[in-house]
Structure 1
Amino acid sequence: MNLALFDLDNTLLNGDSDFEWAQFLIEQGVLDRELFEAKNLAFYEQYKAGTLDIYEFLDFQLKPLSRHARKVLNGWRDDFMQYKVRGMMSVPAQELVARHRAAQDVCIIITATNSFVTSPIAREFGVEHLIATEPEEKDGEFTGGVSGVPCFREGKITRLESWLAQRGWGWNSFADSFFYSDSLNDLPLLAKVNNPIAVDPDATLRKHAEQHGWRILTFR
């Protein structure tokens, strides 16, 4: 039994669902463009530079969820999937996931983007397991806060190991392990697996991958 881990944004997706979700809400008039667009761009640049304060970002990203009923949010998310996300799902990424599924590997999408946005994307890829940042809920509605450890940088390792332990598994439960990612922010988890694979990597990750002889793929 093997473990196959996939980052989502700019790895399986040709784009960033976190960033695009905020842009989508701006385009729909749900968020004020003047107030939110510049902040969204700034947070995205900080993420790419490896300087993102995850809690500051989550306050920005999750608060809008608390201002609207879940039914309304679900409708917007359906439109987001149709008009934004499906066009970001590349054929090579879908084929990669299909190969690991055919091999009966344990496949997990592990992403810093919140589970509300990413759960239908994981289903679209046919990936049963999703480990994502969890928005806090009360009585079925979002509070605007975060529940537990954000699934970001070292937090991905924390969340993954907790997920494995709940199933009676550990790293040694698998004959082999793979992690596909584009981002320098995933270096901690990439260093934990047997097969770290850089997918269309940013400059920092590309340099690290080249220095350590990691595989580099492109889905673009």
Structure 2
Amino acid sequence: MSEYVSVASTGPSAAFFDLDRTLISGSSAFALATAARSMKMMPTHELVRDAMTAATFKFRGDHDTGASDNARDRILGFVEGQRQDDLLALNERVLPTLLGKIRPEARRLVDIHRHAGRATYIVSAAPHEIVEPLAISLGMTHGIGTKGKVVDGIYTGELDGPFTYGQGKVDAIEEIARFEGYDLRLCYAYSDSSSDLPMLSAVGHPVAVNPDSKLERHAKDHGWPIVIFSQRTKTVIRRTATGVASAGVAAATFAAGLELGTRRAGKAFWR
């Protein structure tokens, strides 16, 4: 257990992981849309439109409320009038696809936090009915996704809780922190997108993973660890750490199971 000592909890805490392009490579929305099309729950032209939306949505940033509203409306519009049991049944097709997209470095990172006694959560705008089973399949504590209101087993097209995107993710993790007694100052959060700056800023240990340009600039300005999860190997490349504290956080988080490279001038590099 010595490899986990440096990330051991000093109090109730959790690690929150974005899904698309953080835990997995690519988009969960496309996998869901493809499965829905195969089950005749979505016509082909909507599949194509959702694939394009998924490819661009996250990179517009948290300031683009139009993109956020459109994504929310697309999710609610998709489930409106559908039976909840039918959406849950999609997991038979969606889960194997998403599990095949899990980055090996991300899986190892989840295990590090879990063995350190820390709760682990996926936090995603994707439907809760998909996010929760994926989290459980990975041995995580829970998944936090967008919930649609259900009446008599049918989705009404209305939200049942926050839309878990941007500030909505913060609302969700703050509610869980209050319920579970987590100290957010001791918590970790991981994301690739500037749309998750609210969530990353809400915890004591934010980490940018394969960041977009806006998130990378913000991380550098604030001394947050930045890591690159490679697409094809189990390599983690440490790109920047401002100051000894940031390097220490990165080392504590990623040391287990990874090859430690050269340290130069207080900066750590993994190759």
TM-score (structure 1 length as normaliser):
0.87
Distance 1:73 1:108, change over 3 A: closer
Q: How far has the Cα of 1:99 moved from its partner?
A: 0.5
**Which is helix-richer, 1 or 2?**
1
* Residue 3 of structure 1 pairs with residue 14 of structure 2: yes
Deviation at 1:145, TM superposition (A): 2.3
* CA distance in structure 1 between the aligned counterparts of 2:84 and 2:168, rounded to whole angstroms: 27
**Paired residues of 2:134 and 2:143 also in contact (CA < 8 A):** no
Q: Tell me the equivalent position of 1:156.
A: 169
Aligned partners of 1:178 and 1:195 also within 8 Å: yes
Assess if the C-alpha contact under 8 Å between 2:124 and 2:144 holds in 1. yes
Q: What amino acid does structure 2 have at the position aligned with 1:142?
A: Y
Q: Which residue of structure 2 aligns with residue 138 of structure 1? A: 151
How many angstroms apart in 1 are the aligned matches of 2:161 and 2:19?
20
Deviation at 1:43, TM superposition (A): 5.5
| 2:113 aligned residue | 100
Question: Counterpart in 2 of 1:195?
Answer: 205
- Gaps spanning 5+ residues in structure 2: where? 1-10, 231-271
Larger Rg: 2
What is the root-mean-square deviation in Å for CA atoms of aligned residues? 2.2
Q: Which residue of 2 aligns with 1:73?
A: 87
Paired residues of 1:63 and 1:143 also in contact (CA < 8 A): no
- The Cα of 1:9 is off from its aligned counterpart by 1.5
Contact map agreement 2:33 2:50 (CA 8 A) in 1 = no
Q: Percent identity?
A: 28
Farther-moved stretch of structure 1 (28-37 vs 97-106): 28-37
Amino acid at match of 1:8: L
Q: Which amino acid aligns with 1:77?
A: N
Match of 2:76 in 1: 62
- Which consecutive segments of 4 or more residues in structure 1 shift more than 6 A? none
Q: Which whole-Å CA distance do the structure 1 matches of 2:85 and 2:143 have between them?
A: 22
Matches within 5 A, 1:15-26: 15-26=26-37
SS at match of 1:188: helix
Within 1, Cα distance between the matches of 2:55 and 2:125?
A: 12
Deviation (angstroms), 1:18: 2.4
Matched, 1:85 2:95: no
Mapped pair 1:212 → 2:222: yes
Q: Which moved more, 1:141-150 or 1:163-172?
A: 163-172
